[in-house]
A and B are shown apart, each in its own frame.
Chain A
Amino acid sequence: MTELRFHRDVYAGTVVDEAVKRFGAFATFALREEPQHWVVQLTAPTPEREARVAGELGNYALGTTIKHGGARQR
């Protein structure tokens, strides 16, 4: 299981939700909220695939947040 922690000052929460839906077919996800972070836990059949899905999901969340003008603009 891999855990990704997206800081609320950096990542838009709606974008993290969108990213999880986008990659939903490639791994199993569990979402959790903390005071400072959006936390995503993901599990994939192999460690290689898990690492790749985690990386791509992180990039998708960051890239989309930037395209929308940052975490605070949404």
Chain B
Amino acid sequence: MSETSVEGLPVELISADLARGAVDLQLDEAAYPLDALYGAAYIFIDRCYVLIDRPAAGRWRVSLSPKQAGADAAQLRALAGEFANELLSCAWRHKITQDNRRVIEQVTTEAIAGAMGSPSLDDLAKLDFTGQALEDPLGIAQSWEEKYKKKKAEK
């Protein structure tokens, strides 16, 4: 193998193999989860041969090789840069999805429940209205007459 560094980028993260016409990226799993990697790789498989490996626990290695043979160092560098940008975008979207998962699930559930339509008379007949609807320690829900009616003793 004749791996060389890519201009302006650390060799331990990105290296190019001109003989093979490929560029390898070493990535940290903590920053780039597998789902983000899948997302970025899927975008590139129409113009590159993409191979993902896991050389060690917590590390990914992505190998990109353009389908058009004869890529030079500049083309490989540009390819690695585009992939890194796409990967960052996918990782960020993945994080947003994870952070908002509960909200998304709740909104989806409410939308599906709303789409089921209003309850039928039979459904309403089955509802249990015997329980206390809400606690009212200050008597706010009481009517004026109920709250201030004279007691029998006061008459």
Contact = CB atoms under 8 A, between A and B. Distances in A.
A63 B49 CA distance: 11
B50 interface: yes
Query: Interface on chain B toward A: helix, strand, loop, or mixed SS?
Result: mixed
Interface in A1-25: 4-5, 7, 9-11
Nearest to A65: B38
Contacts, number: 39
Interface residues of A, number: 17
Nearest to B39: A66
Contacts of B95: none
B34 A10 contact: yes
B52 A10 contact: yes
Interface string B25-51: 000000000110010011001000111
Interface of A: 4-5, 7, 9-11, 36, 54-56, 58-59, 62-63, 65-66, 70
